[in-house]
Structure 1
């Protein structure tokens, strides 16, 4: 079932002057919908609100939340992509003080990922594309995803389910469409994202809710590539598929370990607060 709403209306047209199209001037959220409910929705709203504040895009989050919940109820099951742009504007980079934000909701079926990804683990492709450092945009899920487009174009072999992305200093940052965690010495490690990268909602859920429930300490810091190669377990995560164990990267191999399995089990438990 494919659904589309633009500013609350069931249309599929957008102004050619929209700044999201012209400059990537906006943000987006990819939200899993189950039984008519947006999952991890408060985390999605929190990240969107932080992004709108940093980009100075006015946004009524309460009204938008109601719009998304209504859309989710109509979609039932699948994925809702929420896009908020600064709106239409005249030529030039300077944003108009009177521009009204554009709200776009796109609904689609859930991606058909192989069950083996979660069960047996995945192989990462070592992407040559490096993430540029821009602290003003770091952590945000802004509309300019050209780095990810270039990285994803590096491989077509279905043996690779995801790619590893590093910054120009060679530090491990994330996957092309996921965040990355290491398991080492009884604790979780994940990259510090003040220079680049996307602060995923599943990453936040693991750091703030799932890991504490299991008594697992979490360390957020820079991760050297060599440290990745000698760690005990590796997994990726995002809001659509949860957790995928990583079993291989560039000739290096890891087991699907007990910590990763425990985290998967907690995420699989029914939640009363979607």
Structure 2
């Protein structure tokens, strides 16, 4: 496998988004939810047809002094070369990684406001779930709001189904159970989401954007990921800040407690 401190001009990840990445929470040097991150990276490589990284190479990304909370970002591209979109004859995948100190936005564990973005995600089942390097939809969606009081933006697909937030997955409570959108056509299958699904704490279902706005059956809403934990949503707004609806208090819900236990974060007291 090839590696470099700087990405060369002909790297296919830079030119075409031809690769995958992971963002991993490290606690005293130990990766949180590491089996899920490794599995998603491997799945992304299989979908894209990139040679899987050796376990020793991935483990080497974890080497370094262990000190408190950090975030490890791993980028794995097909490497350099190829004429246009054509694959190089003998690609040498490139592995890049960096660790940075981190502190979660603890103040958002008690509640946030989010907006519903106007951008709609394209449906492409082949790429659904994997964390590939082409995130232009998320970049454009993030441009839609500038207000400091909006913490995240929700994204629906071209059929009007809520899929995810720009950098987080979505969870909602309905009929006494917790749900997360089905990701069979687009969206990133987060590692915290995967762990909660495996434990049976959440189930998958479709959630229409109109239902989210209009139906009182959707009682509570969360956004979250494996780095920040779960943020309960107080209000849903337009990108300009106009109110769409409010949700019932969700800070301290058992779903947040379960998620934070997986990440090693404290939970807020709340429902049982």
| Residue number in structure 2 paired with 1:3 | none
Matches within 5 A, 1:92-171: 92-111=84-103, 113=105, 115-119=106-110, 121-171=111-161
Alpha-carbon distance in 2 for matches of 1:117, 1:138: 28
> Structure 1 stretches of 5 or more lacking a match?
1-5
SS in 1 for 2:224: strand
> Structure 2 stretches of 5 or more lacking a match?
238-242, 265-272
Residue 63 (structure 2) pairs with residue 70 (structure 1): yes
TM score, norm. by length of structure 1: 0.86
Residue 25 (structure 2) pairs with residue 38 (structure 1): no
SS in 1 for 2:147: coil
**Aligned residue among 233, 236, 243 for 1:249:** 236
- Check the 8 A contact 2:33/2:191 in 1, yes or no: yes
Matches within 5 A, 1:24-63: 24-63=17-56
Alpha-carbon distance in 2 for matches of 1:267, 1:47: 19
- Check the 8 A contact 2:192/2:259 in 1, yes or no: no
Structure 1 residue ranges, 4+ long, deviating more than 6 angstroms after superposition: none
Residue 74 (structure 2) pairs with residue 82 (structure 1): yes
Alpha-carbon distance in 2 for matches of 1:194, 1:207: 15
- More helix per residue: 1 or 2? 1
Deviations 1:169-197 (A, max 9, x none): 11111100000011011211211111111
- Cα 1:90–1:193 change in 2 (3 A) is same
- Check the 8 A contact 1:131/1:147 in 2, yes or no: yes
- Check the 8 A contact 2:23/2:73 in 1, yes or no: yes
Alpha-carbon distance in 2 for matches of 1:75, 1:101: 30
Deviation at 1:95, TM superposition (A): 1.0
Alpha-carbon distance in 2 for matches of 1:125, 1:53: 34
TM score, norm. by length of structure 2: 0.87
Residue 192 (structure 2) pairs with residue 199 (structure 1): no
